[in-house]
Amino acid sequence: MPRLRAALEPLIRRPWLVRAVVAVAGLLCLPLYGLDLHARFGSDLGVLAVYVALFGGLFAIYLATAWVILAGPTRDPLVLALVLGFGLAFRLAVLPTPVVTSSDVFRYLWDGRVQRAGVNPYRYPPAAPELAHLRDPRIHAAINRPAARTIYPPGAEATFLAVTTVAPDSLLGWRVFLLLCELATGVLLLRLLDRLRVPREAVVLYAWAPLAIFEGLQAGHLDVALLPVLLLALLWRQEGRMLAAGAALGVAILLKLYPAVLLPVWWRRGDRRLPAACATVVAAGYLPYAGGVGTDVVGFLPEYFARTEDFNVGLRHFLTEAIGLGGGGARAAAMLLLAGLLLVALARVRRALTDDAAGVFQAGMAAAAAYLVLVPTTMHPWYAVWILPFVAVRWSPAWLWFTGAVTLSYLAYVWLPAELPLWLRALEYLPLWALLAVESRAWPRLRGGLGRPVAVAIMAKAPLAGAVKTRLCPPLAPAQAAALARCFLLDKIAHLRTLRGARPVVAFSPADARPLFITLAPDFGLVAQRGPDLGARLAAALGDLLADGHAGAIAVDSDTPSLPTAFLQMAVDRLGDPAVDVVLGPSEDGGYYLIGMKRVHDALFTAMPWSTPRVLAETERRARAAGLALARLPGWFDVDTAADLGRLRASLARGEGAPAPATRALLEAWAAPAPP
């Protein structure tokens, strides 16, 4: 693959060619999504073999197109428009086609009909004589397991009622509802990509995914309605909005139970708001349906764990039946073992959680992945749909493979009455596990997303009166100095958002100021400063960021609000040069406003004459003595004294340096005459 990419790179770097590839691929796929397989190949189970072949062809085009897009130039509005336009067109193409793979959607319509008749859907199965007056040859006849009570949780049942009230017994109405959910998913996924600084074009990994299109609008599965609620929970959790995130997660659990694995990994230790909000919403959803049926509100769920419900079981099958352990005891033991391993995995994810936007995302993806690998029960293809938004943000060969290979499970119906051959199940699962093993070894390098960005960290103190800019007091009062420091920080945060190839971070102090910095920079990584002096704090912050797998780490001060962003971008770019070991941004007072490196060099931070005009010269002397290649940026001034503040005011008035709107507005407000 590296050789292929190197050979093709001159071509895929041409925007017109990438656009042409996307357009041709979209036009090729569009009529394939609109095929009526029943009309062409019949409606018996044999049509599923045709479906799997069709899916495989579309999946190959999807992978190839995604590769061309993500390997080519990014930030191309036309490519993004083509991706989103064809993603919508593919979904519109399947709207009139008959359901091919699953009859679950007819149970949704039936449960909605039962509720409109005033009957609790958990009370009777469809075959019960009490519901005989509601049966018809179209919907009731298509239900699978008519003797079983519904398995869907209350949020799903409320959704069935709401949609079928607007469009009674209408498959098209249900599909239009799912289409609206898909549009919401697209909007929220673009917002998540922006927040994590991933090119928007990566949305192709969801928008064009055959699994999302076929299991979503075509089959009508509820799982795609879950995604916008799940993304809202993720976005709000990244912002530290615990009550809102908990409520959204509660709604997600009421729609499908498996998002419950996100609760323990997103729970911030010592903060009860998220679990409390989640539990309140879940309880509020169950209570109206529990009245009159009691514990029967769980529906078919207990029977779901029976052997008769096993379908496409993953790891448990290879631990039991595949090696001749087909007894009930071995089955139960394997289920308990995998459930225990899932709890252990979630606990480990929780311990590794960092409370920045990237950390919350990574914890969510890890929890979803752990569930899909370790779940000891059935694995229907649509159960894998919820990993796709995560894959769009953090490319994963393992999960891309599985979102295609899981469709092979439909061949089990073609093989009936024989069981699905072991080699076919191995083809589905073994590459997933092998690729996950490779990815887990490379996880530190992959944490940054599609590439290995340079971390750029603002060294910041909480802007509190008496704790910051004390050399400006007087002439400023402590509260004014704190307000100024806050504006400096806001402007620096805005500047870092514009950088290419960088992951913005705030290295903050004191340690209990994390909530404040989550509010100021919800899309930034957060690292607590630690160490007895500035040198120790710089070394620790840079070391933490490099240990996270970044290609390099840069620390920049918060006292240069007008520092040109071109200097910051130059630092990121120079650190990407293999010939450069250390980047320094000199300050006019003899120190430096920025230092960056690819590994921590302790000699540059230990026993340094901090707060003197000799810091820069001594740092350069030590770097040369250690044989390090230095790159020097242009100089700039920081703001520590009243004279510096006057210079900053004049500099901003002349438009010099980077725009610092927050700082400039504050200084202008101070200079304005008081109202009479």
Q: How far apart are CA 649 and CA 591, in angstroms?
A: 22
Is 467 in contact with 482 (CB distance < 8 Å)? yes
Distances (CA, A) of 121 to 112, 116, 134, 285: 8, 10, 13, 14
Confidence class for position 362, pLDDT limits 50, 70, 90: confident
578 compared with 187, residue with greater pLDDT: 187
Q: Could you tell me if residue 593 is inside a domain? A: yes
The mean predicted confidence, pLDDT, of the chain is: 89
* The pair of three-digit structure tokens given for residue 268, joined into one six-digit string: 């911030």
Query: Which of 425, 446, 467 is the C-terminal boundary of a domain?
Result: 446
Query: Which of 446, 465, 495 is the C-terminal boundary of a domain?
Result: 446
Q: Are residues 160 and 306 in the same domain?
A: yes
Checking if the pLDDT of 354 tops 80, the result is no
Mean pLDDT, residues 498-521 taken together: 89
Q: How far apart are CA 194 and CA 191, in angstroms?
A: 5
Q: Could you tell me if residue 278 is inside a domain? A: yes
666 compared with 90, residue with greater pLDDT: 90
Q: How far apart are CA 534 and CA 553, in angstroms?
A: 16
- Residues 535-568 pLDDT 10s: 999 999 999 998 887 889 999 999 999 998 888 9
Checking if the pLDDT of 13 tops 60, the result is no
Q: Could you tell me if residue 676 is inside a domain? A: no
Mean pLDDT, residues 175-203 taken together: 91
- Residues 16-49 pLDDT 10s: 788 899 999 999 999 999 999 999 998 888 899 9
pLDDT of residue 7: 47
Q: Could you tell me if residue 530 is inside a domain? A: yes
The H-assigned helical ranges of 95-153 are: 104-116
pLDDT of residue 266: 93
First and final CA of the chain: distance in angstroms?
73
> Would the pTM count as exceeding 0.85?
no
Q: Could you tell me if residue 39 is inside a domain? A: yes
Q: Are residues 552 and 571 in the same domain?
A: yes
Confidence class for position 408, pLDDT limits 50, 70, 90: very high
Confidence class for position 6, pLDDT limits 50, 70, 90: very low
Q: Are residues 627 and 531 in the same domain?
A: yes
Q: Are residues 441 and 460 in the same domain?
A: no
pLDDT of residue 498: 82
Q: Are residues 286 and 204 in the same domain?
A: yes
Region of 555 please: left (phi>0), alpha (psi -120 to 50) or beta. beta
Q: How far apart are CA 22 and CA 12, in angstroms?
A: 12
Mean pLDDT, residues 579-589 taken together: 90
Q: Could you tell me if residue 539 is inside a domain? A: yes
122's CB contacts (< 8 A; 6+ apart) are 149, 150, 157, 289, 293, 296, 297, 298, 299
Is 79 in contact with 18 (CB distance < 8 Å)? yes
Q: Are residues 430 and 480 in the same domain?
A: no
Q: Is the dihedral of CA 55, 61, 64, 68 positive or negative?
A: negative
Three-state SS at 453: coil
Which residues in 535-589 belong to E strands, given as ranges? Answer: 552-556, 582-586
Order of all β-strands in the sheet with 552-556: 525-528, 502-509, 454-461, 552-556, 592-597, 582-586, 630-632
* The pair of three-digit structure tokens given for residue 326, joined into one six-digit string: 């087909």
Specify burial of residue 458 (Cβ count, 10 A radius: 0-12, 13-18, 19+): buried
Q: Are residues 540 and 595 in the same domain?
A: yes
Q: Are residues 80 and 217 in the same domain?
A: yes
Distances (CA, A) of 182 to 58, 62, 178, 189, 214: 19, 18, 6, 10, 13
Checking if the pLDDT of 238 tops 90, the result is no
Mean pLDDT, residues 511-518 taken together: 90
Q: Are residues 362 and 240 in the same domain?
A: yes
pLDDT of residue 3: 47
Mean pLDDT, residues 326-333 taken together: 89
Q: Are residues 165 and 32 in the same domain?
A: yes
* Domain count for the chain: 2
Q: Could you tell me if residue 121 is inside a domain? A: yes
- Measured from the Cβ of residue 106, the count of other Cβ atoms closer than 10 Å reads 22
CA dihedral of residues 354, 358, 360, 363 (deg, nearest 10): -90
Q: Are residues 244 and 267 in the same domain?
A: yes
Confidence class for position 441, pLDDT limits 50, 70, 90: low
What is the residue range of 364's domain?
A: 2-446
Instruction: Determine what percent of the chain is predicted with pLDDT higher than 70.
Output: 94
Q: Which of 375, 376, 374, 398 is nearest to 387 (CA)?
A: 398
Query: Which of 446, 480, 508 is the C-terminal boundary of a domain?
Result: 446
Mean pLDDT, residues 122-136 taken together: 93
Beta bridge partners of residue 595, listed in sequence order: 555, 584
CATH number of the domain enclosing 479? 3.90.550.10
Amino acid at 295: T
Q: Are residues 442 and 498 in the same domain?
A: no
pLDDT of residue 672: 59
Q: Could you tell me if residue 335 is inside a domain? A: yes
Checking if the pLDDT of 451 tops 60, the result is no
Mean pLDDT, residues 310-317 taken together: 90
CA 584 to chain centre: 34
pLDDT of residue 447: 42
Checking if the pLDDT of 675 tops 70, the result is no
